Amino acid sequence: MGKFQKRKFERPSFMDKPNYKSIGYARVSTSGQTTEGQVADLKKEGCCVVFQETISTTVKEKERPQLMAALSALDEGDELVVTKMDRLGRTQVEVVNRIHDLQQKGIHIRTLDGLINTRGLGKFAPVLIGLLSGLAEVERSLTRERTIESIQHRKETGGNLGGRPKTSRIKEGLVLRLRKEGCSYRSIRDQTGLALSTIRRIIVEKEVVAV
């Protein structure tokens, strides 16, 4: 008879579970949309809990209760998981600032589209985030500068930029209302007939004046 061979013992899979929490955050802008798909994807990727809400993109960060709850649930070493980076803020600058703030607290960010994974980047994560922060700041400064110049030019020329239609103020009000309701730029274009560049200008000018 052959010698009895002992089977190699394999550790159960739960021994390999990470020692940090993965917290998910899902958001949609209008009641006509649903977070179900995002929630399912986030849970599939290992999130122990997923915070979700339906809220306009124009609503400030501190007025988003579920986002605030998700951030409060994170401890050093944990990770915040979203489907895409735009779930984290209203603008590129806001998103980059959020990533930077979390990184400073030792909290990681991962997007399911593979765009960013600060844990996977290791020691290079601060370098990348620093670069993104610098680019975002440059973009914000240039946008504000162009917008202020445009507003000043309109004031000096009586608000006339080459025969703009008299209904422009009405359409500007419509653009701002639709944006406040959470409509995307493309949706606003379809509803107003305005070019995307015009829609962006109207919204950015409003933000600059508000500041």
Q: What are the catalytic residues?
A: 29
- When computed from its CA atoms, the radius of gyration of the chain, rounded to whole angstroms, is 23
Longest dimension (CA), the chain: 104
Q: Which residues contact 185 (CB under 8 A, 6 or more apart)?
A: 196, 199, 200
Report CA-CA distances (Å) from 10 to 7, 13, 16, 60, 82: 9, 9, 12, 50, 34
Q: Between helices 168-180 and 185-192, what is the axis angle to 10°? A: 140
- Chain-centre distance of CA 169, in angstroms? 30
Cβ burial 153-183 (10 Å sphere, 16+ → b, else e): eeeeeeeeeeeeeeeeeebbebbbebbeebb
Cα–Cα distance measured from residue 105 to residue 211, given in angstroms and rounded to the nearest whole number: 28
Q: Which residues contact 76 (CB under 8 A, 6 or more apart)?
A: 105, 106, 107
